[in-house]
Structure 1
Amino acid sequence: MRQIVLDTETTGLSADSGDRIIEIGCVELVGRKLTGNNKHFYLNPERDSHEDALKVHGISNEFLKDKPKFAAVADELLDYLQGAEIIIHNAPFDVSFLNKELELIGREPIRHCVAKITDSLMMAKEMFPGKRNSLDALCDRLEVDNSGRTLHGALLDAELLADVYINLTRGQNSLMIDVGSSSQEGSDSVPQIDLSGFELPLLAANEQELADHEKLLVDIDKSSKGKTVWRVLNA
């Protein structure tokens, strides 16, 4: 499945109060690898940004005046996102803005276009409970270089989040495997095999495995009386 790491910048904090999207950045992953097939839009929000928002993203109202409105890029964006898993840090925030923009032009919410929405912030909180899990904090913790991030920018943040997501889900910190026992007496060093040059295959589940998986999810859902997290999120 294609994965799209997505980020937005906005005029403020509340779509329901009239704030709008001013920038959208998308980075594509296929087989957990960056493809370079990215999307980036600056948008005319038809209103000014709040002062506090300007301090975060640094995108002036004047700069956005000649940019397209959301309606002009909606089809291109939705075609790009179609059928993909969308990965967003603090997904409820960005999804609320995307849904509001779609509502204003008479379109269905974003979940009708994509296969799945994954919140990387929730993933990080489960992996690092009690710690700071902002994008900057995760970059520091997972050794992702964010030295070029002086202000928030949708495409830059999406690129950083793609690296963070890969590190969050890789399951190990290194492709170096020890050979032999590290407890051997008299051994000055332990030989290693470097697997970084190997092309690791991506194995997809077959139809029977997918059917068995879905049956298991249904059984778990029944036993929890419909309170499983995935059913609640899909609803």
Structure 2
Amino acid sequence: MRQIVLDTETTGLDPKSGHRIIEIGCVELINRKLTGRHYHQYINPEREVDDGAIEVHGITNEFLVDKPIFSQVVDEFMTFCDGAELVIHNAPFDVGFIDAELKRLRSPRWQNVAAHCGVLDTLALAREKHPGQKNNLDALCKRYFVDNSQRDLHGALLDAEILADVYLIMTGGQTDLLASNDASGDTDQKQEASALEAGAIRRLSGERASLNVVRANEQELDAHAAFLAMLEKSGGKHFW
């Protein structure tokens, strides 16, 4: 199963008011494992970014001046997502903005998100699992012990990476903490990681050095016997 964890940043809150996408961040999961593939793009929205939005994500009009417009990146973006299930926190917001961009283009190839992708809303999932509690991304990071210390401002790619970890933990899976797909590391470490992921029994090598056994000396044994005798005399019970 291929999933794309996706987040966007925008010029404002409502695409119906003409607000546009200014950043897209995506990370790929296949069979619930991070593959290392991602898509990230800043976009010139062809309009001003609201001051309130800049306070949230820190992306300024000056920064976006030389970035490509959506029509220049749509094929690469949609091809990356095509056929996958999109995992999005508060999916109606992001999907609404993407659909508005696609509608504006009137592309014969890309109609709307639903025509090319499934969608899983992690906010709806979190509300179902944790009713009556805060379920924004920061609250979920705290609940599931996901490190979001670098999230001073919202950023599409960083938020997508954090959401991927939250989603995998929240749905009972495991993030790839052992990095078993990493080419680095020796063979024994890779085998051990693979065994852990598969739930296999790990056995210690017969070539390992035996543990050093430290035995009590005569004085320590006498002191222990005296302590037990004191317990017996006072009516206490012991099992050693």
TM-score calculated relative to the size of structure 2: 0.72
Q: Tell me, which stretches of 5 or more residues in structure 2 are unaligned?
A: 175-191, 200-240
Q: Tell me, which stretches of 5 or more residues in structure 1 are unaligned?
A: 173-193, 202-235
Question: Deviations for 1:20-63, whole angstroms, at most 9, x for unmatched residues?
Answer: 00000000001111111100000000011111100000001000
Tell me by how many angstroms 1:195 deviates: 8.9
Percent of residue pairs identical: 58
Distance 1:28 1:171 in 2: 15
Matched ranges for 1:201-212 at <5 A: none
Q: Counterpart of 1:111 in structure 2: which amino acid?
A: A
Distance 1:164 1:199 in 2: 19
2:161 — aligned with what?
Answer: 159
2:62 — aligned with what?
Answer: 62
Determine which of 192, 196, 199 is the counterpart of 1:198: 196
Tell me by how many angstroms 1:110 deviates: 1.1
**CA RMSD after TM alignment:** 1.9
1:25 — aligned with what?
Answer: 25
Question: Deviations for 1:183-206, whole angstroms, at most 9, x for unmatched residues?
Answer: xxxxxxxxxxx99842339xxxxx
Question: Deviations for 1:132-190, whole angstroms, at most 9, x for unmatched residues?
Answer: 00000000000000000000000000000000000111169xxxxxxxxxxxxxxxxxx
Residue 136, structure 1, aligned to residue 138, structure 2: yes
Q: Counterpart of 2:34 in structure 1: which amino acid?
A: L
CA contact (8 A) 2:8 2:22 kept: yes
Distance 1:25 1:171, change over 3 A: closer
Larger gyration radius, structure 1 or structure 2: 2
Aligned positions, number:
180
Secondary structure of the residue that 1:150 maps to in structure 2?
coil
Distance 2:10 2:197 in 1: 40
CA contact (8 A) 2:32 2:173 kept: no
Give the ranges of 4+ consecutive aligned residues of structure 1 lying more than 6 Å apart after TM superposition.
Answer: none
Q: Counterpart of 1:139 in structure 2: which amino acid?
A: C
TM-score calculated relative to the size of structure 1: 0.73
1:37 — aligned with what?
Answer: 37
Q: Counterpart of 1:140 in structure 2: which amino acid?
A: K
Matched ranges for 1:111-190 at <5 A: 111-114=114-117, 116-170=118-172
Distance 1:164 1:106, change over 3 A: same
1:191 — aligned with what?
Answer: none
1:103 — aligned with what?
Answer: 103
Question: Deviations for 1:75-127, whole angstroms, at most 9, x for unmatched residues?
Answer: 1111111110100000000000000000111131111111x100000000000
Question: Deviations for 1:200-231, whole angstroms, at most 9, x for unmatched residues?
Answer: 39xxxxxxxxxxxxxxxxxxxxxxxxxxxxxx
